[in-house]
């Protein structure tokens, strides 16, 4: 049976924090009716945390595996690649306009938040979540405001010689 020692609780905390933080971001995306909402963000963050934990701790106890530090960055790099593929699925082009870039970036950051939780970098994960929410909630209206201004302006200058 499982032994609920301090390490197990720390790992469970990491996974649950990743789930919670990414669910909060998913709620914001869901309310905006985006293609990647609560479930997608919660699963991406949780899965990334689990992959990071497996990468860091999962292979040391197997028979035939040398005891040592291992290389947790190998699985982390594969998570980043896989999330890039997943994010590409929400980007599409319609009449020369690209849609889904922010949603793809949001899924990508959810993976990073999950990985930070899995690595025990809880402060970094919380900061990443706050920045992600800031971008979605505060910078969107700022971006809309800036789009009101024309992209091209014509300025005519007249001058006299001398």
Q: How far is CA 79 from CA 19, 53, 144, in A?
A: 16, 12, 33
Instruction: List the structure tokens of 55.
Output: 């990468």
Per-residue pLDDT of the chain in tens (162 residues, 90 and over written 9) = 556 788 888 888 999 999 999 899 889 888 888 878 888 888 888 888 888 888 877 666 556 556 555 666 777 788 878 887 777 777 777 777 777 888 888 888 899 999 899 888 899 999 989 998 998 888 888 888 877 877 777 888 888 887
123 in any annotated domain: yes
Determine the Cα–Cα distance for residues 19 and 44; give it in Å rounded to an integer.
Answer: 9
| Domain that includes residue 29, residue range | 6-146
159 in any annotated domain: no
84 in any annotated domain: yes
90 in any annotated domain: yes
- Predicted confidence at residue 72, as pLDDT, reads 66
* Domain count within the chain: 1
The distance of Cα 3 from the centroid of its chain, to the nearest Å, equals: 32
44 in any annotated domain: yes
156 in any annotated domain: no
152 in any annotated domain: no
- Predicted confidence at residue 126, as pLDDT, reads 93
111 in any annotated domain: yes
Q: Judge contact between 45 and 22, C-beta under 8 A.
A: yes
- Predicted confidence at residue 66, as pLDDT, reads 60
Closest to 109 measured CA to CA, from 98, 121, 125, 120: 125
């Amino acid at each position: 049976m499982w032994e609920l020692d301090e390490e197990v609780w720390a790992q469970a905390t990491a996974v649950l924090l990743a789930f919670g933080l990414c669910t909060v971001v998913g709620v914001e995306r869901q309310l905006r009716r985006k293609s990647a909402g609560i479930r997608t963000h919660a699963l991406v963050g949780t899965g990334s945390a689990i992959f990071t934990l497996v990468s860091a701790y999962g292979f040391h106890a197997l028979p035939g595996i040398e005891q040592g530090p291992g290389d947790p960055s190998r699985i982390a790099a594969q998570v980043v690649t896989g999330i890039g593929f997943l994010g590409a699925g929400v980007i599409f082009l319609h009449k020369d306009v690209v849609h889904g870039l922010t949603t793809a970036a949001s899924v990508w950051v959810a993976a990073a938040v999950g990985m930070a939780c899995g690595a025990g970098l809880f402060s970094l994960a919380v900061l990443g979540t706050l920045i992600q929410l800031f971008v979605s909630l505060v910078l969107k209206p700022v971006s809309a405001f800036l789009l009101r201004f024309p992209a091209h302006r014509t300025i005519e200058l007249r001058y006299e010689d001398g």
